[in-house]
Amino acid sequence: MSSKANSKADLEHAPQQGRIGFIGLGRMGTAMAANLAAAGKDVLAYVRRPEQVTKLLPLGLKPTTTFSDLFDCAVVVSMLPDDAAVQQVTFGRKDLSIAGLLMGLMPGAIHLSMSTISPAIASQLASEHARNGQSYVAAPVFGNPDAAKAHQLYVIAAGPQPDLERCQPIFDALGQQTFAVGDTPATANLIKLVGNAMIAANLEILGEICALAQKRGLDTRELLAILTATMFGSRFHRIYGGKIADQEYRTGGLVFPLALKDVRLVLQEGEMAGVPMPTLSVVRDRFLTGIARGYSELDWSALGLLASEEAGLNIESVKSGATRGATHDEHRELNGSPAASAGPIT
């Protein structure tokens, strides 16, 4: 086929301008997609299971259970839990002859990955999309499902400048601030990972401090009020510190397996760069301990629960209040991890 014919075909099958595809409808993804729809965006939301369709319609979304429906979108957002899930929706399933975004998206379309994944995979996806005449933008976010609902996410975005400008209306609809960090997508993912590593390390020390306070008869809420009013007044310290001070550990937020994944990725980056990270090695082991004790469905603030246990505190009331025994899919749905609804593209 001649270059002229190719040009005509590209025009005939150009992406539908303004239509946004969305993959990954867990708690986090659903809140984000709903905010896009509320902002007047045309959002096509992919779900694996037909029974999920009725839940999305009242949110102004246009659900589909056919993955290939996304291929006509100008931008496809993926909000998935890990490298493997993002790779599957990008590369497809060769064993089942199912095309992923890489083979299905039209030239000029953007794959906007808002997932927390490794810098190495981000670089691979950016390279492969460019080879196919598509664009790739990495834009992981800081914030939990409640922040997502309130349009209070912080977006860390990296990619070619023209593509960042095309995605900016999406960022504006989702978050309170966007940090553009260059044209290399891997940069955004590294920043998100080190941010999560700092949160995890802080949760560990918060848990230890609150356990000490309890054993010495201090009011943990009063202690937290003093600390947040002086040197540690971030939103993170107030929210997660409050959970630990009150020993309220529930499902929601970033659960132990996903937090462990992020810490491991940062440790890999440190090893490759020749940077020892002994504090994070301890935090990694703490998440492993929590998973071994059956806390896989709990928010990562439950590092405070481990600290209480090891301090010999009475935690039976805490355990009874925690949601336990959810199925794997329920765990992912409850905790803003979209893989349950995105699922295999079959």
Nearest to 123 by CA among 161, 158, 71: 158
3-state secondary structure of 21: strand
Find the Cα–Cα–Cα–Cα dihedral 97, 101, 103, 106, rounded to 10°: 140
| Active site (annotated) includes residue 261 | no
3-state secondary structure of 344: coil
**Which strands, in side-by-side order, build the sheet including 110-113?**
62-64, 42-46, 16-23, 73-78, 110-113, 135-138
Find the Cα–Cα–Cα–Cα dihedral 296, 297, 301, 303, rounded to 10°: -20
- Contact (Cβ atoms closer than 8 angstroms) between residue 311 and residue 211: yes
In one-letter notation, the amino acid at residue 252 is G
Helix H, strand E, coil C: the string for 161-223 is HHHHHHHHHHHHHHEEEEEECCCCHHHHHHHHHHHHHHHHHHHHHHHHHHHHHHHCCCCHHHH
Phi-psi category of 288—alpha, beta or left, where left has phi over 0 and alpha has psi -120 to 50? alpha
CB half-sphere exposure, 24, CA atoms < 13 A: 25
Dihedral pair phi/psi, residue 288, rounded to 5°: -60, -40
In one-letter notation, the amino acid at residue 98 is I
Alpha carbon distance, N-terminus to C-terminus of the chain: 32
d(CA 305, CA 23): 33
d(CA 255, CA 338): 13
Which residue out of 41, 192, 243, 261 is catalytically annotated?
192
3-state secondary structure of 235: helix
In one-letter notation, the amino acid at residue 132 is N
Catalytic residue list: 192
